[in-house]
A and B are shown apart, each in its own frame.
Chain A
């Protein structure tokens, strides 16, 4: 018969005190496992950006009257930010589900710090975004999109930071929507589209009315989208890129602070 439990031997010292770093790593690894087990799920969730790329992109090329390569150079970096926005924005639904089943409760009884539960999840958002963005960027190269390699690598780092911020906020929203999951979807959808339009990722904001430009100024993504465009064009040292990083960092810090607060106070 197989032993179900072993009693700790007498005198065995208590397990080592956990550290936030180790806990965060363990949460990160757990969150990443389903992605590693089923990497094709990453490709499937690329459907939406591909639709925008194929349909909206074609429309945009027709409208602009410029060669496809010029339009793609402007449009593709925005689509990469869209991947981060939609991917990380929806990620709280996972936690929402785990709160409904009891999986989240199980992790709350485990000896891991509350903050790690959030930070580990948020950091994990970086992985799918980087993989997906790389795929989309490479797919568009045959259609005339040109990539500055160094710029692209830095651009991926920028997207990863953005993912941490957006992911944290999505998790915080999930925690706040406990027992009323409609609220998660209502807020998530309600925020997603204005943020998308006000970032200038689909259409340039140059001809926007003044009030819209003002609103866009408060949207971190309206700094990140131009930064990505500059990076893929190889304009690495431009102030646009610096502002993009500032926006992403601010969003990540705010997101993590809000998320950690949410997970500490919500049971």
Chain B
């Protein structure tokens, strides 16, 4: 069977006008996603991840370019695209004044499932997503993790072959996050569902996705497997701390006055000798750490900024956009 892409995009772009200034949220983007892929879309807040996702899910008309999703053009045939995709947005999908099972039943009707099929699917999803005990409860009374599981159930009512998730784990406790990913992985392994997930958690992309796309300032700056991205940055990261001012070490980066980092191959074998040499040179090493590259290093190398800082400090509002 020849693999046919489930998503293709050519020159897909979006710009907004914010306070009379043109802001390019997404620069022309070419993209191809194969059936069955699990793609993590990584980047800081405001990088354009959600905007891209919203264009692919027909929520936002592109300013330029075209995109075909599950065989239909997002601009010409939005209804056909909607029918075939599942979308789990950043917010909670269930109405606050509704009950859990009722929302699933309504959702089934929205997707044109018959009454009996809707009921069957609703009960299946309630069971598989551990919602049985709360099926007749009001949405307002649910915990964050329960609401998120209901979001997933709602997104899956029509058994979509392609599922979009926009930062599904944001705001969840570690246990709920692990639980959520277990469901996503499960879904893929059992049914071959194509999964397109945005996240700003590096660990998640690292751990679960076979393909990682990194976006920054509206551009895709890397697109590869997590392992491949990390091997591009060969070697280990050694961080050395000194009691006084750090000496000049070739090819090292100064973190602060007393700390330097350097990237080397076989750091584990090199480190003992390095410490001895520095000791002999009269600049004794106070602390030494060695670690493997993470996706954060990839991001740092690609953008010159740490993703962690970005997550903490970026305030760019992705949702307060005014279409141009």
Contact = CB atoms under 8 A, between A and B. Distances in A.
B247 interface: no
B99 interface: yes
A18 interface: yes
Interface stretch (A50-58, A104-112, A136-144): A104-112
7 closest cross-chain pairs (CB), A and B = A102-B91, A106-B93, A5-B159, A30-B106, A110-B110, A2-B128, A26-B109
B103 to A, nearest CB: 8
Given A4-B190, A109-B58, A110-B111, A102 B90 contact: yes
Interface string B78-103: 01101101010111111111110011
Contacts of B160: 5
B68 to A, nearest CB: 16
B54 to A, nearest CB: 9
Interface string A61-105: 000000000000000000000000000000000100110111101
Interface in A13-71: 14-18, 23, 26, 29-30, 33-34, 37
Interface residues of A, number: 37
A111 B79 contact: yes
B159 A7 contact: yes
Interface of B: 57-60, 79-80, 82-83, 85, 87, 89-99, 102-103, 106-107, 109-113, 124-125, 127-129, 151, 154, 156, 159-161, 183, 186-187, 190-193, 319-320
Contacts of B107: 106, 110
A39 B113 CA distance: 28
Nearest to B94: A103
A6 interface: yes
A100 B128 CA distance: 28
7 contacts: A5-B193, A26-B110, A30-B103, A37-B99, A103-B93, A103-B94, A105-B93
Contacts of B113: 15
Contacts of B112: 15-16, 18, 111
A198 B281 CA distance: 92
Given A3-B128, A29-B106, 10 more contacts: A3-B124, A4-B124, A5-B156, A6-B159, A30-B95, A97-B96, A102-B92, A106-B89, A267-B59, A267-B60
Q: Which residue, A7, A103, A107, A112, has most C-beta atoms of chain B within 10 A? A: A103
B92 A103 contact: yes
A179 interface: yes
A90 to B, nearest CB: 13
Contacts of B94: 101, 103
Interface in A156-210: 179
A93 to B, nearest CB: 11
Contact of A102 (B83, B89, B320): B89
A8 interface: yes
Contacts of A106: 87, 89, 93, 107, 154
Contacts of B97: 34, 94
A100 B191 contact: no
B93 A112 contact: no
A101 B92 contact: yes
A9 to B, nearest CB: 11
A188 B291 CA distance: 59
Nearest to A22: B112
A98 B93 CA distance: 8
A34 B98 contact: yes
B166 to A, nearest CB: 9
Given A7-B191, A111-B82, A2 B93 contact: no
Contacts of A101: 91-96
Contacts of B319: 179
Contacts of A105: 59, 89, 91, 93
B161 A98 contact: no
A37 B102 contact: yes
A107 B103 CA distance: 11
Contacts of A14: 80, 83
Contact of A100 (B91, B98, B111, B151): B91
Q: Which residue, A6, A17, A107, has most C-beta atoms of chain B within 10 A? A: A6
Contacts of A23: 110
Contacts of A2: 124, 127-128
Nearest to A41: B97
Contacts of A109: 57-59, 82, 85, 87, 89
Q: Which residue, A5, A97, A111, has most C-beta atoms of chain B within 10 A? A: A5
B194 to A, nearest CB: 11
B122 to A, nearest CB: 12
Given A3-B128, A105-B59, A112 B110 contact: yes
B165 to A, nearest CB: 12
A4 B187 contact: yes
Contact of A7 (B79, B125, B161): B161
B96 A33 contact: no
A16 to B, nearest CB: 6
A7 B87 contact: no
B82 A3 contact: no
Interface string A225-267: 0000000000000000000000000000000000000000001
Contact of A15 (B83, B127, B161): B83
A190 B237 CA distance: 63
A7 B193 CA distance: 8
Contacts of B58: 109
